[in-house]
Amino acid sequence: MAKEVSPGVLALRKVVEDVYADAREAKKQGKLVGWSSSKFPCELAAAFDLDVMYPENQAAGIAANRDGEIMCQAAEDLGFDNDICGYARISLAYAAGKRASRKVDLETGEYVINPASGRPLKDENGKVVMGEDGKPVKDPKTMQPYTVLDDIHEIEALPDGKEKDLRWAAIKPYRQMQMPQPDFVLCCNNICNCMTKWYENIARMCNVPLIMIDIPYNNTVEVHDTNVAYVRAQFDHAIKQLEELTGKKFDEKKFEEACANANRTASAWLRVCDYLQYKPAPYSGFDLFNHMADVVTARGRVQAAEAFELLEKDLAEAVKVGKSTTPFPEKYRVMFEGIPCWPKLPNLFKPLKEHGVNVTAVVYAPAFGFVYNNMDEMVRAYYKAPNSVCIEQGVSWREGICKDNKVDGVLVHYNRSCKPWSGYMAEMQRRFTDDLGIPCAGFDGDQADPRNFNEAQYETRVQGLVEAMEANAENKEG
Ligand code: SF4
């Protein structure tokens, strides 16, 4: 039976589809389309009516569609090191024109099906159909063509004709693989310092202007006035650069509208995140991860605010009637630390389900909910991102979430891509156990490159965490 999808979730899906469709349309009409880091002030671009896309988000989508490895490898073949963040490698390969494509037979025009793809065929009683060779038969409807790497510059250079048409059409049709190339890039390094070089490289490869806002790591809990002045001056400079780029004047009314929308979206998003505090929770941190695309790509749109408010209503109703999207009874509650392994979501979920572990707290999602009332507060809000705040602030954020969301343990993703995040996690784990008396377990993985995830290690770590949570509960009862 198809999974029931709530009206809020449906509305959010449409919001993101529209962001991509609008950018494709803008490109077709010859308008400028930009690429932006996820926490660049989108309000500035909105004041110029610019269509902006988000490569981090795009890379997460490509990884979730299982094309992370081929794109990471493509970037490595271009000379980018395997140690660079997987999002950056996917994005740099994409910026260079590389695309994941379906293998097509240029004679017949048919896609060449990969026999290893597809799900097992089931009979009318839901039983897997076995073949004569004793192996499960594949459902032909779910089988997919081989994935190959193509290059839009090579396709463009072909003479008009059958091969050109077939190769254009073979590029995978999901939205993240159909994102328009950039005419300018917007970068803010509050996310991490890898951003700076990543966006400089995109600008160089695509020969487009880069608008950069430098927000350095903040080693104090407060953001000092001098830091605010430093960033405000850069906002002013970015506005001048955008005026030159677009030939338009900064529209204050549109800017204020975008600020109001961004604040309304952020407030609704934070209230949605707070529903994880219910015991049992009406949904899980995995649901929040799925909405990251919405809050990153469409924060400044009124439709995003409305859709999150609708989702809030769905969750209130779910709590009232005792419904949850989590398909098992909640025995343990944990915080999931870090970005999930997008290509391995089912593998992450499986052992959690087996042990009744619900992810009722995440750090990554609420980090994108920030509200401000004036320009200085806006700068301070942009100053704070998971990797740009000091360890005291980081510990206090997380311990607050752990307490509010009543977790029994913490599962830490040591993400090979995200070194700034993973680097201080060992100390954080120590502090969580000391301060909150809860066990923590870590596993190695990667948000985008599936080569860095080991399922057996992950399962063992989850099992260890469950045993520690069980012992902790028994001790408390004792
Ligand atoms: S914050 Fe981490 S995941 Fe995001 S771009 Fe930087 S290194 Fe990559």
Q: Are 26 and 183 in contact (CB under 8 A)?
A: no
pLDDT of residue 369: 86
Q: Are 357 and 332 in contact (CB under 8 A)?
A: yes
* Spacing of C-alpha 428 from chain mean position: 23
Q: Above 90 in pLDDT, residue 126?
A: no
Which atom from ligand 1 is nearest to the alpha carbon of 193?
A: 6
- What is the rounded CA–CA span in Å between residue 388 and residue 392? 12
How far away, in angstroms, is 291 Cα from ligand 1 center? 18
Reading the block at residue 409, the tokens are 């343990």
How far away, in angstroms, is 59 Cα from ligand 1 center? 11
Which atom from ligand 1 is nearest to the alpha carbon of 85?
A: 8
Interval 55-84 mean pLDDT = 97
How far away, in angstroms, is 82 Cα from ligand 1 center? 14
Q: Label residue 3 by pLDDT band (50, 70, 90).
A: low
pLDDT of residue 382: 93
How far away, in angstroms, is 3 Cα from ligand 1 center? 32
What is the best residue among 417, 446, 447 to mutate for testing ligand 1's pocket, by most ligand atoms within 8 Å of CB? 417
How far away, in angstroms, is 24 Cα from ligand 1 center? 26
- In what helix (H) or strand (E) does residue 415 lie, and over which residues does it extend? strand 409-415
Q: Locate tokens 């009318």: which residue?
A: 124
155-176 burial, b at 16+ Cβ within 10 Å, e below that, comes to: beeeeeeeeeebbeebbbeebb
Q: Are 80 and 460 in contact (CB under 8 A)?
A: no
Instruction: Dump pLDDT digits (tens) for 214-228.
Output: 999 998 999 999 999
pLDDT of residue 134: 87
What is the best residue among 84, 89, 195 to mutate for testing ligand 1's pocket, by most ligand atoms within 8 Å of CB? 195
Query: Of 183-197, 360-374, 435-449, which range is least confident?
Result: 360-374
One-letter identity of residue 306? E
- pLDDT exceeding 70 applies to what percent of the chain? 99
Interval 60-70 mean pLDDT = 97
How far away, in angstroms, is 420 Cα from ligand 1 center? 8
Of 181, 210, 244, the residue nearest 40 (C-alpha): 210
How far away, in angstroms, is 193 Cα from ligand 1 center? 8
- What is the rounded CA–CA span in Å between residue 22 and residue 382? 26
Interval 195-222 mean pLDDT = 96
Interval 456-475 mean pLDDT = 96
- What is the rounded CA–CA span in Å between residue 356 and residue 363? 21
pLDDT of residue 368: 82
Q: Which residues pair with 415 in a beta bridge?
A: 445
Task: Return the number of other C-beta atoms located less than 10 Å from residue 64's C-beta.
Answer: 21
Interval 155-181 mean pLDDT = 98
What is the best residue among 37, 194, 342 to mutate for testing ligand 1's pocket, by most ligand atoms within 8 Å of CB? 194
How far away, in angstroms, is 32 Cα from ligand 1 center? 26
Interval 450-472 mean pLDDT = 96
pLDDT of residue 344: 94
- Tell me the C-alpha to C-alpha distance, in Å, between residue 292 and each of 38, 45, 191, 296, 298: 10, 20, 15, 6, 10
Interval 81-100 mean pLDDT = 97
Nearest CA to ligand 1 atom 2: 418
One-letter identity of residue 243? E
Q: Label residue 298 by pLDDT band (50, 70, 90).
A: very high
pLDDT of residue 478: 74
Reading the block at residue 361, the tokens are 């707290």
Whole-number mean pLDDT of the chain? 94
Q: Label residue 12 by pLDDT band (50, 70, 90).
A: very high
To 10 degrees, what angle do helices 302-321 and 7-28 make?
A: 160
- pLDDT exceeding 90 applies to what percent of the chain? 87
Q: Above 80 in pLDDT, residue 2?
A: no
Which atom from ligand 1 is nearest to the alpha carbon of 387?
A: 1
What is the best residue among 54, 56, 190, 363 to mutate for testing ligand 1's pocket, by most ligand atoms within 8 Å of CB? 56
- What is the rounded CA–CA span in Å between residue 77 and residue 100? 15
- What is the rounded CA–CA span in Å between residue 350 and residue 354? 6
Supply φ then ψ for residue 382, to 5 degrees: -75, -20
Nearest CA to ligand 1 atom 3: 418
Which atom from ligand 1 is nearest to the alpha carbon of 447?
A: 3
Nearest CA to ligand 1 atom 7: 418
CB contact set of 226 (below 8 Å; sequence gap of 6+): none
How many alpha carbons lie under 13 Å from residue 164 in its C-beta half-sphere? 9
Q: Label residue 29 by pLDDT band (50, 70, 90).
A: very high
Q: Are 308 and 269 in contact (CB under 8 A)?
A: yes
How far away, in angstroms, is 338 Cα from ligand 1 center? 10
> What is the per-residue DSSP string for 146-215?
PEEEEEHHHHHHSPSSHHHHHHHHHB--SGGGGPPPPSEEEEETTS-THHHHHHHHHHHHHT--EEEE--
How far away, in angstroms, is 293 Cα from ligand 1 center? 15
Q: Are 204 and 55 in contact (CB under 8 A)?
A: no
Name the pairing type of β-strands 147-151 and 98-102: antiparallel
- What is the rounded CA–CA span in Å between residue 54 and residue 38? 6
The H helix count followed by the E strand count for the chain is: 19, 10
Q: Label residue 136 by pLDDT band (50, 70, 90).
A: confident
- What is the rounded CA–CA span in Å between residue 193 and residue 37? 11
Ligand 1, pocket residues at CB < 6 Å: 56, 85, 87, 191-192, 194-195, 339, 387, 417-418, 420-421, 447
What is the best residue among 37, 188, 191, 425 to mutate for testing ligand 1's pocket, by most ligand atoms within 8 Å of CB? 191
Which atom from ligand 1 is nearest to the alpha carbon of 421?
A: 2
Task: Return the number of other C-beta atoms located less than 10 Å from residue 294's C-beta.
Answer: 27
Nearest CA to ligand 1 atom 6: 192
More confident residue, 201 or 289: 201
CB contact set of 355 (below 8 Å; sequence gap of 6+): 331, 332, 462, 463, 466
- In what helix (H) or strand (E) does residue 413 lie, and over which residues does it extend? strand 409-415
- What is the rounded CA–CA span in Å between residue 113 and residue 89? 27
Instruction: Dump pLDDT digits (tens) for 237-296.
Output: 999 999 999 999 999 999 999 999 999 999 999 999 999 999 999 999 999 998 988 999
What is the best residue among 35, 58, 85, 419 to mutate for testing ligand 1's pocket, by most ligand atoms within 8 Å of CB? 85
How far away, in angstroms, is 26 Cα from ligand 1 center? 28
